[in-house]
Amino acid sequence: MTPFQINILLGYSKPSAAGLVDYEPFAKSLQQNIERMFSIEALRRKAQLVQLGTFKTEEVPRPEYNDVQLFKAFRNCDENSHGFLELTEYSQCLSQFKELEFQTNEIVTLTLMCDVNGDGRIDYQEFMKHFEDQTYLIKFHQSLQNMYDEERKLQMQEDRNMMQNTTPPMGNSTLSGNNFGELGTTVKE
């Protein structure tokens, strides 16, 4: 898996205010999210959606924000005025930007991605240098994933409907055979 994919998955970890993650629920959701987002089938189909033009990359909006407001939010969250934010402070800072419509998992993902040097802190330069591109990348992934999930949901519904609408053959059915390898069906009319 790529670092981006790992950060996306960690975004679903639901950390506490102290930044701690409850292992049991995270492990369960991790397995489901890997299958849903990064299985070979999911990646193949999402690539097809882009290549065929079904998913229009130009329709994913670039984040729009005011640099001055972003800087002010950074400064307000930098409680000790050291010029950097701890990861929990950074998450709080991002949650102030209602116009960017961040979901909780996107805030966690962006927080992890913007800590480029991995020191557990985000300084103002890291914050501003990568914010727009990484925000776009996360929104792109989320939009594409939503399209894939919706398509998958519709396909599952169609499959269920088809199963409900299939009728068994006319007459009485009997099973024959001594074990599952020899199991056969006979229709009597």
**Which residue's structure tokens are 């089938």?**
41
Higher per-residue confidence, 51 vs 123 = 51
* pLDDT tens column, 97-128: 777 888 888 888 988 888 877 888 888 777 77
- Residues 179 and 161: their CA atoms lie apart, in Å, by 31
Looking at the domain assignment, is residue 174 inside a domain?
no
With a cut of 50, say whether residue 147 has pLDDT above it: yes
The pair of structure tokens assigned to 141 is 């992934």
The mean-pLDDT minimum among 1-15, 35-49, 62-76 falls in 62-76
Domain count, the chain: 1
pLDDT at 183: 46
pLDDT at 167: 57
Mean pLDDT of 9-24: 84
Task: Output helix, strand, coil percentages for the chain, rounded to the nearest 5.
Answer: 60, 10, 30
pLDDT at 37: 95
Q: CATH number of the domain that 110 lies in? A: 1.10.238.10
User: Residue 97's domain spans which residues?
Assistant: 3-165
- Please state the pTM of the whole predicted model: 0.75
Looking at the domain assignment, is residue 183 inside a domain?
no
Task: For residue 170, name the pLDDT band (cuts at 50, 70, 90).
Answer: low
10 Å Cβ neighbour count for 16? 10
Looking at the domain assignment, is residue 180 inside a domain?
no
* Total number of residues shown for the chain: 189
